[in-house]
């Protein structure tokens, strides 16, 4: 197959279009083995690429996982997760959720060892991508925005709610004033009233630019609160309206939890803020332990 014979699987979005264009543009600079990888990438169905690891792509293209990584880099991708991320956007918008679920089931089958590997591999890929996509300087900006906050408001709805709740709860356990906000519509207005100058806001919102997100950011700016946005797709749209943007990549397949990378980012922020005030964190942790022991003690052993 020549590069000009790329098959047409229909309009599956900008990710597929960019992949095909990259193969055409870089074809002459690819080695023979890299061309084999490129040919396979433009010939395989999108769902097959989304569920495949580098080793599987190497086997399917008659090359190796190392060749797959090199080929992707020559085509302009940071790695396989970056390719999957772009392909997934068009695929998820054009294929019904129930169809994607059937495809996930068909891909992993009933082999428990295979299921274990699929989940662990995708989790590792997403976490490594999270590491690469956020520069140390951006992380410093995010921590600085929250370091002296009077109270930290953690906002997240739907799949983002676990990360927001986790961060709010954990901040309280190191002696920081924090609260969770997960209301939408009119109900969010009550929480917006609580925002004060000098507060910090951490928003977990991977994709959709909800009205609530815009109003929350505008309210924070109006009262003088600083904002950290944890997202996958909204950095460009909100980057100039918040103090820092940390990237938490989507799952390209749905095999791992959408909240996975957001929870990792939340833990990074938590540990960074803990390190800034070790004395307060240790003292609060001790108080928490004492209270738990009192609550667990037999009634007769509790002091009145």
Domain membership of residue 216 (yes or no) is yes
Supply 232's token pair. Answer: 């996958």
pLDDT of residue 12: 53
> Hey, which bits of 95-243 come out as E strands?
152-156, 178-181, 200-204, 226-231
pLDDT of residue 149: 97
Asked whether residue 89 falls in the same domain as residue 153, the answer is no
Asked whether residue 67 falls in the same domain as residue 158, the answer is no
pLDDT per residue, tens digit, the chain (304 aa), is 444 454 454 545 678 888 999 999 999 999 999 999 999 999 888 878 887 888 889 999 999 988 998 999 999 987 887 788 788 776 555 555 555 556 666 666 677 887 888 888 889 888 988 998 888 899 999 999 999 999 999 999 999 999 999 999 999 999 999 999 999 999 999 999 999 999 999 999 998 889 999 999 999 999 999 999 999 989 999 999 999 999 998 887 778 898 999 999 999 999 999 999 999 999 999 999 999 999 997 765 655 4
Domain membership of residue 124 (yes or no) is no
pLDDT of residue 111: 75
Asked whether residue 81 falls in the same domain as residue 24, the answer is yes
Domain membership of residue 73 (yes or no) is yes
Cα distance between residue 133 and residue 72, in whole Å: 17
Asked whether residue 14 falls in the same domain as residue 146, the answer is no
Asked whether residue 172 falls in the same domain as residue 96, the answer is no
What letter would DSSP give residue 251? Answer: P
Asked whether residue 46 falls in the same domain as residue 83, the answer is yes
Number of domains making up the chain = 2
pLDDT of residue 219: 97
Residue listed under structure tokens 């264009």: 21
Supply 191's token pair. Answer: 């929480």
Domain membership of residue 30 (yes or no) is yes
Supply 221's token pair. Answer: 């700016």
Residue 178: give its domain's CATH number: 3.40.50.10490
Domain membership of residue 298 (yes or no) is no
Asked whether residue 98 falls in the same domain as residue 157, the answer is no
Domain membership of residue 217 (yes or no) is yes
Asked whether residue 58 falls in the same domain as residue 92, the answer is yes
CA 161 to chain centre: 13
Asked whether residue 156 falls in the same domain as residue 249, the answer is yes
* pTM for this prediction: 0.75
Domain membership of residue 152 (yes or no) is yes
Domain membership of residue 118 (yes or no) is no
Which among 15, 3, 74, 80 has a CA at the least distance from the CA of 46? 15
Owning domain of residue 36: 3-109
Final residue of a domain: which of 63, 93, 109? 109
CB 130 within 8 A of CB 260: no
pLDDT of residue 88: 77
């Amino acid at each position: 197959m020549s590069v000009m014979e790329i098959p047409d699987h229909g309009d599956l979005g900008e990710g597929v279009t960019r992949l095909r264009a990259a193969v055409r543009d870089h074809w002459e600079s690819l080695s023979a083995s890299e061309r084999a990888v490129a040919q396979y990438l433009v010939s395989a169905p999108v769902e097959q690429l989304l569920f495949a690891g580098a080793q599987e792509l190497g086997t399917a293209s008659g090359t190796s996982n190392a060749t797959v990584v090199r080929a992707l880099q020559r085509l302009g991708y940071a790695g396989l997760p970056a390719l999957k991320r772009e392909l997934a956007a068009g695929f998820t918008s054009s294929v019904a959720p129930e169809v994607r679920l059937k495809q996930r089931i068909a891909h992993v089958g009933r082999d428990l060892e295979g299921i274990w590997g699929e989940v662990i591999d995708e989790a590792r890929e997403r976490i490594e991508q999270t590491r690469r996509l956020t520069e140390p300087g951006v992380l410093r900006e995010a921590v600085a925005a929250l370091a002296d906050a009077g109270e930290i408001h953690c906002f997240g709805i739907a799949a983002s709610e676990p990360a927001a709740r986790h961060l709010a709860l954990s901040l309280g356990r190191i002696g920081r004033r924090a609260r969770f906000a997960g209301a939408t519509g009119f109900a969010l207005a009550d929480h917006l009233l609580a925002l004060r100058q000098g507060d910090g806001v951490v928003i977990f919102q991977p994709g959709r630019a909800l009205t609530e997100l815009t109003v929350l950011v505008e309210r924070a700016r109006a009262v003088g609160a600083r904002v950290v946005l944890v997202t996958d797709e909204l950095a460009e749209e909100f980057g100039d309206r918040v103090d820092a943007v940390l990237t938490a990549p989507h799952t390209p397949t749905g095999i791992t939890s959408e909240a996975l990378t957001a929870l990792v980012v939340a833990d990074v922020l938590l540990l960074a803020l803990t390190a800034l005030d070790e004395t307060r964190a240790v003292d609060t942790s001790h108080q928490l332990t004492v209270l738990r022991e009192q609550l667990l003690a037999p009634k007769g052993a509790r002091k009145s």
